[in-house]
Structure 1
Amino acid sequence: MEQEEKLDAIIIGGSYAGLATGLALGRALRKVLIIDSGEPSNRQTPYSHNFLTQDGIPPAEIAAIAKQQVLMYGTVSFLQERVVDATKQAKGFKISVQSGESFTAKKLVFATGITDVMPDIPGLTESWGKSVLHCPYCHGYEVRSQKTGILANGDSGYEFCSLIAHWTSDLTLYTNGSSTLTHEQTVRLHKHKINIVEDEIYKLGQTNGYLNSIQFKTGRVELVTALYARLPFQQHCDIPQLLGCELTSDGYIKVDAAQKTSVSGVFACGDNATRMRTVANAVSMGTTTGLTVNKELIEEEF
């Protein structure tokens, strides 16, 4: 059933970026609906770090507190549902959810995040966000000085090694097959006492998501307690593309400094629009989005 009253904004995605957008708009007295499917990409991560006042707090706990505070503003509502379609109308957008309901709004915000594409390595999915990590700024302090690996190759592997070497001196680059490093890169990594292993990985040994070893197809086993990896990803929601939103060459939703997409009236914030994948950055982008949406509404109404 279609809701008759047109909202000022619909926010698709109710994690940090979406809730921050909702908070800014709620405080601006805007009528807002946040729709969330309840599948945050960090749902396996036990603790969040590098976010002032919330360092070391479970991500779900931060989100729950945020949701409670945002919904204190009477013009903001929350719906746990999955959006299945969005269409641009003459003055705004129509959003349909899985239950069959539809809603209309003047502005549309996507805070839908990304989905990591897991390689076919047993044990990696179970360990993702716990001991297989994407970011040293989020998790590096907790595994500092430990026996650490990097799953990467070529330029990406070299750059990742230079970054992680600051957190541990016991570091190995696992290329999972023949190295594509240049000769100069290989020499420099060896100079910094970073090992390079080209054996193909059979599986990761882990208990409840915490690594203890890497097992290779040759039968050899190496002990390791943390492994960094930059996995390929895809947009968690393809509706922005269906609306005509451009993507960057890396696969993120293309936005300007005000979080505006290439489609008028559509905004994007959080992990779907940046490689800077932290809670603090998602909140910052969401706040910026809320301010921008409100400013655009004022300019259209005043």
Structure 2
Amino acid sequence: MEANKVKIIEPTSGWQLVDLKELWRYKDLLYFLTLRGIKARYAQSIMGVSWAIIQPLFTTIVFTIVFGGLAKVDSDGMPYILFSYLALWPWNYFSGTLTESANSLIQNANMITKVYFPRMVLPLSSILSKLLDFIIAFVVVIGLLIYFKVSPGWGILFLPILILQLLMTSLGIGMFLSALAVKYRDVKHALTFLVQLLLYAAPVVYSTTAVPEPYQKFYILNPMVGVLEGFRAAFLDRPMPWEWIWPGFILAIIFFLFGTLYFRRMEKIFADVA
């Protein structure tokens, strides 16, 4: 009888990109973890998936009262609630994926130490599971557009590019933070504070035009600036601000490549320190 074949799995060496064939072999695990993340988020919840609408909507109402009403922040001539929600919608996805992906390896340490699978499945499943909230929150966008009688223009055709930029930024930074959090547990505590600061470093409650012109060349290097202003332009029938989008798109690619390479580099020590 032919001897059983034994496959030895060795840790990756150097800086390597994603092994797509390996990820495809574990697509069922990715599907299961994504579904588990969705179910766990709304388990024993009376409101269920309605929280995906309630949370950003009420946050937008608070922003409208404080910044649009009291502080009189300029909203480029649009109703402030529509102006802010169109930015808060993708921002919530970005901030939520950072938090969940950064903790994904630590929360699943028992899996990492007991069985082999592509570790990238964990932060990837966190990012995919948040897409449901992103899609559900789109219902509010439709309602606001109908209420204020605003019709999207041709810029809506460029929405896939903006979503791609959003995903690359989220996945790149998320994988970097998840790998870093395994070794340095301070990341988990610092991330909550960091996300709050980043909210005001992006044009969520204000317009990019409010930033002084001498600082805009540095400000637009934030990938989320182009994403948020692009979402507004797409749904408010305004010219796409490519001068704000393309610098951030390049940075999004860099973040994605660096985050992936760093994750693969650190992958071999996950089981030892998790």
Tell me the TM-score range normalised by the shorter chain: under 0.3
Q: If each structure's helix is expressed as a fraction of its own residues, which one has the higher value?
A: 2
Q: Which has the higher contact order (CA 8 A, sep 6+)?
A: 2
Q: If each structure's strand is expressed as a fraction of its own residues, which one has the higher value?
A: 1
